[in-house]
Amino acid sequence: MIPPPFDYHRPRSLAEATGLLARLGEEARPIAGGHSLLPMMKLRLASPAHLVDLGELAELRGLEIGPARVRIGAMLTQREIVASEPLAEALPILRETALRIADPQVRARGTIGGNLANGDPGNDLPAVMLALDATYLLAGAGGERRVPARGFYAAAYVTALEPGEILTAVEIPRPAVGHGWAYEKLKRKVGDYATAAAAALLEVEGGRVARCAIGLTNLADTPLLAEAAAAAVIGSELGPEVLAEAAAEAEAITDPASDGRGPAAYRRKVGGVMVRRALEKAWARATGRGPAPGATP
Ligand SMILES: Cc1cc2nc3c(=O)[nH]c(=O)nc-3n(C[C@H](O)[C@H](O)[C@H](O)COP(=O)(O)OP(=O)(O)OC[C@H]3O[C@@H](n4cnc5c(N)ncnc54)[C@H](O)[C@@H]3O)c2cc1C
């Protein structure tokens, strides 16, 4: 379908962009890679009268990898996330996750900021940001503010973004050297959104899990932080009972829809399987000892 008519604006600075969005009001939407917004416009699920293109904003393009934190500009594409070696070294889970998004064509245009700001529970990067305890940097005509990823998602397509605000960057505390990570995603085919997916990050000290965080994708209206599941593995050697308990704790907080990807009960179960697999892989990476005891094939 052809989208409804709109006016197109291409500001040259962040100040110009936030000024434009404030002046044009709720009829205006920012556009980044366009790979979520344009399909919605073509389906007439969105019909903004004005598109404000973020493509020329140098302020949204930086990548800073510091000793304690990483700052990623909102306009970095998913392809750039995959391609950056320093980023993969600091935050390997980002490359693993970005590679599971759609296909190379989508990743060439789709941005990290668009993926995080969109609010679609099927987007893969938000659950990873919950697990990483990232902070989003937002800018509007009234100034700048910081919002934790863990407080950003309220419902499907409802986020902490106020009208006219732009997500400029995401700031992520660097996980410890030697941490384990994994993003496990079940999808029906290449290019599909997740039936269910899980991000796991953990640190092992003295042969036991010392710290852990788990995020879930497409298992509710919003990405989920599976706190009880993570608590279940802390202090353990990640044996079979612990893995089963973590999967059950994760399943308990999910509320997936029945849709083309399967009935809710199936998707919930797949969520538990993804948690188990992500934990096993993260453990193996952290310990260098191969799959955890009781690992599922
Ligand atoms: C065929 C196909 C398959 C896909 N599969 C997946 C998948 O498996 N997993 C996945 O995660 N994604 C998937 N996507 C979506 C893709 O990752 C999008 O690129 C991403 O969701 C949005 O990023 P974008 O830069 O294209 O944003 P846009 O489409 O330009 O914008 C999306 C929304 O975010 C807003 N927005 C964008 N940037 C900002 C910003 N900086 N500040 C404030 N608001 C902003 C826009 O106003 C709009 O509401 C798929 C897309 C397609 C077309």
Domains and CATH numbers, the chain: 7-52 (3.30.43.10), 59-173 (3.30.465.10), 184-287 (3.30.390.50)
Count CB atoms within 10 A of the CB of residue 264: 14
pLDDT digit string, tens, across residues 251-289 = 999 999 999 999 999 999 999 999 999 999 999 999 987
pLDDT-derived band at 297, boundaries 50, 70, 90: very low
User: What is the per-residue pLDDT across 86-133, written as a single tens digit (0 to 9) for each?
Assistant: 999 999 999 999 999 999 999 999 999 999 999 999 999 999 999 999
Q: 106 CA to middle of ligand 1, Å?
A: 9
Terminal-residue alpha carbon distance, the chain: 44
Q: How many Å apart are CA 21 and CA 69, to the nearest integer? A: 30
Give the closest residue (by CA) to ligand 1 atom 27.
114
Distance in Å, CA 94 to ligand 1 centroid: 16
Q: How far is 202 from 236, CA to CA, in rounded Å?
A: 12
Atom of ligand 1 nearest to the CA of 217: 11
Please, are residues 132 and 55 in contact by the beta-carbon 8 Å criterion?
Answer: no
Nearest alpha carbon, ligand 1 atom 23: 114
What sign has the CA pseudo-torsion 42, 189, 78, 184? positive
Q: For residue 67, give the 3-state DSSP assignment.
A: coil
- Which atom of ligand 1 is least distant from the CA of 38? 29
Going by alpha carbons, the residue nearest to atom 21 of ligand 1 is: 115
Running DSSP on this structure, what letter comes out for residue 258?
P
User: Residues with beta carbon inside 6 Å of ligand 1?
Assistant: 29-37, 39, 54, 74, 101-102, 106, 110-111, 113-115, 117-118, 123-124, 161, 166-167, 191, 193
Question: For residue 136, how far is the Cα from the chain centroid?
Answer: 12
Taking alpha carbons only, the member of 168, 182, 196, 173 closest to residue 263 is: 196
289: CB partners within 8 A, 6+ apart: none
The pTM assigned to this predicted structure is: 0.96
55 Cα–ligand 1 center, Å = 14
Instruction: Write the residue with the smallest CA distance to atom 33 of ligand 1.
Output: 118
Per-residue pLDDT, averaged over 191-209, amounts to 96
